[in-house]
Structure 1
Amino acid sequence: MPSPVLPAVPTRFALTQLAITRISGQDRGKYLQGQVTCDVNALHPGEQTLGGHCDPKGKLWSNFRLLCLEECLLLLTSPSVLDRQLPELKKFAIFAKVEIATDERHATGIAGTGSDAWIAAQFGLDQSGLIDGGMAVKIEQDRWLLVSNPQADALAQGDESLWWGLDIKAGLPHMAAVHQGEFIPQMLNLQALDGICFTKGCYMGQETVARAKYRGANNRALFLLTGTANEPVSAGDTLEIQLGDNWRRSGMVLNAWQQSGQLWLTAVLPKDTEANAQFRLKQEEHSRLSLHPLPYALTE
């Protein structure tokens, strides 16, 4: 069955589906610390983390990857979330020495057998760290994310959809505008991906996130599914679960990768979903999907 697999050689991916927001100014760390789920204050230049930005009720405006540079913080998100997220992020910035703006750097993926060695030769890194003009982030073995001025032109260019397919296979979530206000951070497995700090103190939506952990108030999680579908699948599409001879709405597609009728996707489903459950897409009755193990353990 076709699946997202690493290229045989280091390959460059232009990541057009990533927006980069720059947070600068004297109070940048302190300000963002009070807005998001991750521990911004714990980051040193060259370090990074996943995280979430919630509304006061604990529902996500976005999930993101946060990079710490010497002179600023960079927030990497889906471009579609910015219309609603940025005004919320800037809402209290007038009271702090902080500036929030679009960054001019580019996001590039490097993936394929030998990419770790290629990065080591180019930048002298074996883990995430600073590079000239930005930062290199190690996503997993032989897969790196570069945020800097354009580089890696010597490498063959790959299809961007493969990069996002590899993220799906890794169980990494990417919210789009259609998901805003739908999920608390634990529904995207951010607690299992070190994207939530439960000891950092107050931030927007913190009470809901803490309640989900300590009182078991969350009953949904991100799952990985594989199967077949002929029609295009999009973020926000409805999944149905088979119950005997009937089908019932079960969850929402987060991200999808398709090739030759094969489909890999992430979706938010009830946490107690049975491992042998069968699914279909609401818009395509003949599609079939089943659960595929996540590459990490789920935690509360």
Structure 2
Amino acid sequence: MLTLSSSPVLYPLTDRAVIRLTGADSAKYLQSQVTCDLDQLKPGDASLGGHCDSKGRLWASFWLANLGEQLVLVLNQSLVERQLPELKKFAVFAKTEVEDASADWQVFGLAGEGLSHWLGQQLDGDNLWQGGVVIPVAAEHALLLLPKAAPQPELPLGDEREWQGLMIHAGLPDMSAEHQGDYIPQMLNLQALDGISFTKGCYMGQETVARAKYRGANKKAMFVLAGNCDQPIAINQDIEMQLGENWRRAGTVLSAWQQDGDCLLTSVLNKDIDTDTVFRIKGQDDSRLTLQPLPYPLID
């Protein structure tokens, strides 16, 4: 089963995109678009966040970092085609340029025991590094964004699929294009991961997000499931739950990791689901999955 390395490992990531905002109004403009609070982010700081449509449904979840003269969003590459035009839609009224800057950056995962100590030796008081930035995402896990020309750290290289599994194990959301427009931010646990500010004021979809918190309108959350499955698992594939002798659809696959029959995945399920419920992948009758404890408390 998947385990954290005993020392820091570098994971080159090929499926991440980078959206860049530059210009005098970039922070003000992005503040009106996303769920997290940019006013709290100094250069070198980062936050999980979401970008919603007017009904509060997610176009994208992402990691947002302040690099000083530019803001960057690191997200799943598949989201960009639909999300970027939506993010740019109102930028014509502000002094900001919003662009897909993926070709200018290298994106890596960093994980392993002792990573925080190793980073402490590399960084000088903040998370800015060689024109890029380190984005802490969980204990002993971080994203590293570096300019294309910058040398990569001299660390052992890991497999990208292992990084995906580590992110699932940490309970971190990674939505793909298949789920754009399906979920409000709380369904991906963004509120439990400090990815939503309920005090920053208005942003796209804010009324729906606030209603879910203050009126208890949200009945779903993202969970981690683990088990065995011998066949490939696809994003958006149906997950079924056992009810006596029968099976009923419970949700779909949000992200997945597989190795030698073992699997980890995330799925958005009803919040009140019984913790001992047995699940399977639809069409793969021999697969079995069970809920895993999240590494953080679920809050409304």
Bucket of the pairwise TM-score, normalised by the shorter protein: over 0.9
Q: Displacement of 1:141 after TM fit?
A: 3.2
Secondary structure of 2:211 counterpart: helix
Secondary structure of 1:156 counterpart: coil
Instruction: Supply the distance in 1 between the matched residues of 2:234 and 2:266 (Cα, whole angstroms).
Output: 11
Q: 1:62 aligns with which of 46, 60, 63?
A: 60
Question: Is residue 283 of structure 2 the alignment partner of residue 280 of structure 1?
Answer: no
- 1:270 maps to 270
Amino acid at match of 1:19: A
1:32-111 aligned at under 5 Å gives the runs 32-103=30-101, 104-111=104-111
Instruction: Supply the distance in 2 between the matched residues of 1:114 and 1:219 (Cα, whole angstroms).
Output: 38
Cα distance, 1:196–1:153 mapped onto 2, change above 3 Å:
closer
Structure 1: gaps spanning 5 or more residues: none
Moved more, 152-161 or 72-81: 152-161
- 1:191 maps to 191
RMSD (Å) for aligned C-alpha atoms = 1.2
- 2:170 maps to 170
Amino acid at match of 2:61: N
Q: Deviations over 1:195-221 (max 9, x none)?
A: 111111111111111110011111110
Q: Displacement of 1:154 after TM fit?
A: 2.1
- 1:217 maps to 217
Q: Displacement of 1:153 after TM fit?
A: 4.4
Amino acid at match of 2:55: K
Q: 1:21 aligns with which of 15, 19, 22?
A: 19
Q: Displacement of 1:140 after TM fit?
A: 2.8
Question: Is residue 120 of structure 2 the alignment partner of residue 113 of structure 1?
Answer: no
Q: Deviations over 1:120-155 (max 9, x none)?
A: 222246xx6111201112223332221113433422
Instruction: Supply the distance in 1 between the matched residues of 2:139 and 2:274 (Cα, whole angstroms).
Output: 30
Identity of aligned residues (%): 51
Instruction: Supply the distance in 2 between the matched residues of 1:60 and 1:237 (Cα, whole angstroms).
Output: 19
Instruction: Supply the distance in 2 between the matched residues of 1:59 and 1:197 (Cα, whole angstroms).
Output: 16
Q: Displacement of 1:16 after TM fit?
A: 1.1
Secondary structure of 2:121 counterpart: helix
Amino acid at match of 1:232: P
Instruction: Supply the distance in 1 between the matched residues of 2:132 and 2:294 (Cα, whole angstroms).
Output: 31
Instruction: Supply the distance in 1 between the matched residues of 2:154 and 2:171 (Cα, whole angstroms).
Output: 30
- When normalised by structure 1's length, the TM-score is 0.96
Q: Deviations over 1:169-224 (max 9, x none)?
A: 00000110000010000000000000111111111111111110011111110001
1:109-188 aligned at under 5 Å gives the runs 109-124=109-124, 129-149=127-147, 150-188=150-188
Cα distance, 1:238–1:82 mapped onto 2, change above 3 Å:
same
Instruction: Supply the distance in 2 between the matched residues of 1:19 and 1:261 (Cα, whole angstroms).
Output: 30
Q: Deviations over 1:46-79 (max 9, x none)?
A: 1110011001111100101100011010001100
1:201-280 aligned at under 5 Å gives the runs 201-280=201-280
Structure 2: gaps spanning 5 or more residues: none
Instruction: Supply the distance in 2 between the matched residues of 1:76 and 1:109 (Cα, whole angstroms).
Output: 12
Moved more, 94-103 or 178-187: 94-103
Instruction: Supply the distance in 2 between the matched residues of 1:228 and 1:23 (Cα, whole angstroms).
Output: 42
Q: Deviations over 1:83-137 (max 9, x none)?
A: 1000100000111100011221211122222322222222246xx6111201112
Cα distance, 1:225–1:171 mapped onto 2, change above 3 Å:
same
* Number of residue pairs aligned between Structure 1 and Structure 2: 296
Secondary structure of 1:258 counterpart: strand
Secondary structure of 1:191 counterpart: helix
